[in-house]
Amino acid sequence: MASHTVSLDGMLDFGKILAESEQKIGTILGFQGDLGSGKTTLIRSILLAKGFDGTSITSPTYSYVHEYTKPFKVYHFDLYRLKKSEDFYTLGFDEYVDDPEATSFIEWPERILPILEKPLQLFRLEILSQDSRRIVWNK
């Protein structure tokens, strides 16, 4: 288990560190944390460091998923509004996470952990103060 404490302003630098780690296409990354903990901010930071246009990276709260295609394919899920874990499959999202040519970033993965059939790298964001977060993950 590893952890890192970061300010919200320092999230971009931490995103760069995570982006440089060895993540293969097809990886699933899950981001847990309370509302406002910085899940979308961390995802945006990682994707910016990977060469994506940061202006288009927003939380897909109402659409469940956003797809980004350049420089590679990414599916960004926000499952906060998902009522039942089975709805993930009913909505056809299993096809997204099964795409070997794409990386998936999932906010609120605990909504589907009981039924997710693929392994994921899990990050937990904890609010320490208004401007400080602890990020915990398995190495």
In this prediction, residue 121 carries a pLDDT of 92
In this prediction, residue 108 carries a pLDDT of 97
pLDDT digits (tens, 9 = 90+) for 49-102: 999 987 889 999 889 999 999 899 999 999 999 999 999 999 999 899 999 999
Q: Hey, where are the domains in the chain?
A: 2-137
Q: What is the spatial distance between Cα 42 and Cα 38, in angstroms, rounded to a whole number?
A: 6
Q: Helix 11-20 vs helix 39-49: angle between axes, to the nearest 10 degrees?
A: 50
Is the pLDDT at 1 greater than 80? The verdict is yes
In this prediction, residue 136 carries a pLDDT of 95
In this prediction, residue 12 carries a pLDDT of 87
- Residue 2 vs residue 139, higher pLDDT: 2
| Whole-number Cα distances in Å, 7 to 1, 38, 113, 132 | 20, 10, 28, 4
Q: What is the spatial distance between Cα 40 and Cα 139, in angstroms, rounded to a whole number?
A: 21
Q: What is the spatial distance between Cα 93 and Cα 19, in angstroms, rounded to a whole number?
A: 24
What is the mean predicted confidence (pLDDT) over 105-131? 93
* Torsion sign, CA atoms 9, 29, 66, 17: positive
CATH 3.30.420.40 applies to domain 2-137: no
Q: What is the spatial distance between Cα 137 and Cα 30, in angstroms, rounded to a whole number?
A: 10
DSSP SS3 for 86: coil
CB 73 within 8 A of CB 99: yes
Tokens matching residue 112: 């589907």
**pTM for the whole structure:** 0.93
In this prediction, residue 21 carries a pLDDT of 79
In this prediction, residue 22 carries a pLDDT of 61
The closest of 137, 138, 118 to 126, measured between CA atoms, is 137
Range name among 69-73, 116-120, 123-127 with the lowest pLDDT average: 116-120
